[in-house]
Amino acid sequence: MENTGVVIVAAGSGTRMGMETSKVLLPLAETPILLHSLRKFKQFPWVAEIVVVVREKDYEQVCTLLEHEDIDVTLVVGGARRQDSVAAGLKALSPELPWVMIHDAARPLVTTDCIAAAYAGVQQYAAVSVAVPVKDTIKIVNENQIVLATPPREQLWAVQTPQAFSASLLRAAYAQAEQEGWEVTDDCSLIEKYGYKVKLIPGEYTNLKITTPDDLPIAEALLRNKGEVRTEMRIGFGYDVHRLVPDRPLVLGGVPIVYPLGLLGHSDADVVVHALMDALLGAASLGDIGQHFPDTDPAYRGISSIKLLVEVTKLLAQHHYRVGNVDLTIVAEKPKLAPYIEQMRIVLADTMQIPLSLVSIKATTTEGLGFCGRQEGIAAYAVVTLVKVVQ
């Protein structure tokens, strides 16, 4: 019997992901995060309607995405707050449906077992949420992070979604919230404020919420463990060297270096980024930087190598590769590079849109031996891994 409406909230900004793109449109195992949740809910015969709430700026992109899915979805624009978005989703559901489920699109690993448990629970309790017992000790602190209290851990549960409710109860709570100016972070809190008790039912620790870039590889690993996807790993090696000359700026890893000499080249001659790009392209069997950015092309004269790395990153994404990790070694007798290493890591991680923890940079000398030891040039070596998800 089709008696339940589902509201999938996908209108968050994703600021903590550090990207302009909505996090629910980012790929997880080559599939946008949003679609993972949608495909789970469509499997149930009791789901009558699905409403997806998105940001206005994402509306057209999500429309295009859904054109290729065999799912009947109503798309609405959300508000500034999560509760505004849920309210918009509720208004789009047919009023005669007795039950409603609210789910965060940023929880793509929700299982059909969790969804089925929420459906069974709501018919008994009218307000339920999947949740898991907290494993860590939790501290209550003041504005200066001074501990004020330690609540008993056995009384603490981490609430997840889906949350399921009697539709009339949730609508009444939202109506009063609008009148009273209540502000809450989830729908259970709203129901509690309305004066109704919420029943927590066991969720799953794997039902994580994608919040930061570090969450994506964790989610992908969980999918692999479940046997839903497998990955192919590639390894690439890159090397580059440029001569040191006067009257040229020295740029390494996208960071300007204070030194009287600079590297000679058609572009900014950033050997670190050049070695990195060659390693990335080689791992994906996509040629080398000379093929993609020839030094005979005036368009690349004096160009920042970071701009070229942006293009290489886009090319990898088009071939469904993501960076597993990067290990770089810079060989230079002078200047001393230790003060610049951390900034190089930050610039490269930001450019490739990967966590900082995946970028390693080391600097060494040749103890006066060879062209680097004679301070005639600087060289760089790069080793990278790429990961490609295979469904």
- What single string gives the DSSP state of each residue in 347-368? HHHHHHT--GGGEEEEEE--TT
Q: What local confidence, expressed as pLDDT, does residue 71 receive?
A: 84
- Exposed (0-12), middle (13-18) or buried (19+): which is 357, by Cβ within 10 Å? exposed
- When pLDDT is averaged across residues 309-326 and rounded to a whole number, the result is 91
- When pLDDT is averaged across residues 216-227 and rounded to a whole number, the result is 80
pLDDT, tens digit, 9 for 90 and up, residues 328-355: 999 999 999 999 999 999 999 999 988 8
In this structure, which amino acid lies at residue 312? V
Domain boundary, last residue among 162, 197, 225: 225
pLDDT, tens digit, 9 for 90 and up, residues 180-199: 999 998 999 999 999 999 99
Q: What local confidence, expressed as pLDDT, does residue 178 receive?
A: 92
pLDDT at 391 over 60: no
Same domain flag for 162 and 304: no
Q: Which two tokens stand for residue 160?
A: 């997840």
- Main-chain dihedrals φ then ψ at residue 370, nearest 5 degrees: 70, -175
- Residue 13: pLDDT band (50, 70, 90) is low
CB 91 within 8 A of CB 22: no
Q: What local confidence, expressed as pLDDT, does residue 334 receive?
A: 92
Same domain flag for 290 and 361: yes
Q: What local confidence, expressed as pLDDT, does residue 216 receive?
A: 85
Q: What local confidence, expressed as pLDDT, does residue 320 receive?
A: 82
Tracing tokens 């290493």 back to the chain, one arrives at 341
User: Which residue(s) pair with 51 in the sheet?
Assistant: 7, 74
Question: Which is nearest to 97 in space by CA: 165, 20, 162?
Answer: 165
Residue 14 or residue 112, greater confidence = 112
User: Which residue(s) pair with 251 in the sheet?
Assistant: 256
- When pLDDT is averaged across residues 223-231 and rounded to a whole number, the result is 70
Same domain flag for 133 and 46: yes
User: What is the CB neighbour count within 10 angstroms for residue 80?
Assistant: 9
CATH code of residue 282: 3.30.1330.50
Q: Which residues constitute the domain of residue 94?
A: 4-225
Same domain flag for 166 and 55: yes
Same domain flag for 45 and 122: yes
- Exposed (0-12), middle (13-18) or buried (19+): which is 64, by Cβ within 10 Å? exposed
In this structure, which amino acid lies at residue 60? E
The half-sphere exposure of 194 on its side-chain side, counting CA atoms within 13 A, is: 23
Q: What local confidence, expressed as pLDDT, does residue 218 receive?
A: 87
Cβ neighbours of residue 65 closer than 8 Å, sequence gap 6 or more: 25, 32, 34, 35
Percent of the chain with pLDDT over 90: 77
Q: What local confidence, expressed as pLDDT, does residue 385 receive?
A: 96
Percent of the chain with pLDDT over 70: 96
- Residue 26: pLDDT band (50, 70, 90) is confident
SS3 387: strand
Q: What local confidence, expressed as pLDDT, does residue 25 receive?
A: 86
SS3 204: coil
Q: What is the C-alpha to C-alpha distance for residues 181 and 183, in angstroms, rounded to an integer?
A: 6
CATH code of residue 122: 3.90.550.10
Q: What is the C-alpha to C-alpha distance for residues 326 and 272, in angstroms, rounded to an integer?
A: 11
Number of structural domains (the chain) is 2
- Exposed (0-12), middle (13-18) or buried (19+): which is 327, by Cβ within 10 Å? middle
Same domain flag for 214 and 234: no
Q: What is the C-alpha to C-alpha distance for residues 140 and 150, in angstroms, rounded to an integer?
A: 6
- Main-chain dihedrals φ then ψ at residue 371, nearest 5 degrees: -65, -35
pLDDT at 16 over 80: no
Question: Which is nearest to 203 in space by CA: 137, 158, 138?
Answer: 158
Same domain flag for 195 and 254: no
User: What is the CB neighbour count within 10 angstroms for residue 61?
Assistant: 15
Q: Quick one: DSSP state of residue 264?
A: -
Q: What is the C-alpha to C-alpha distance for residues 89 and 51, in angstroms, rounded to an integer?
A: 6
Question: Which is nearest to 162 in space by CA: 102, 219, 214, 204?
Answer: 102
Same domain flag for 309 and 220: no
- Residue 223: pLDDT band (50, 70, 90) is confident
Same domain flag for 193 and 239: no
Same domain flag for 8 and 127: yes
Same domain flag for 339 and 320: yes
The half-sphere exposure of 93 on its side-chain side, counting CA atoms within 13 A, is: 32
Same domain flag for 160 and 21: yes
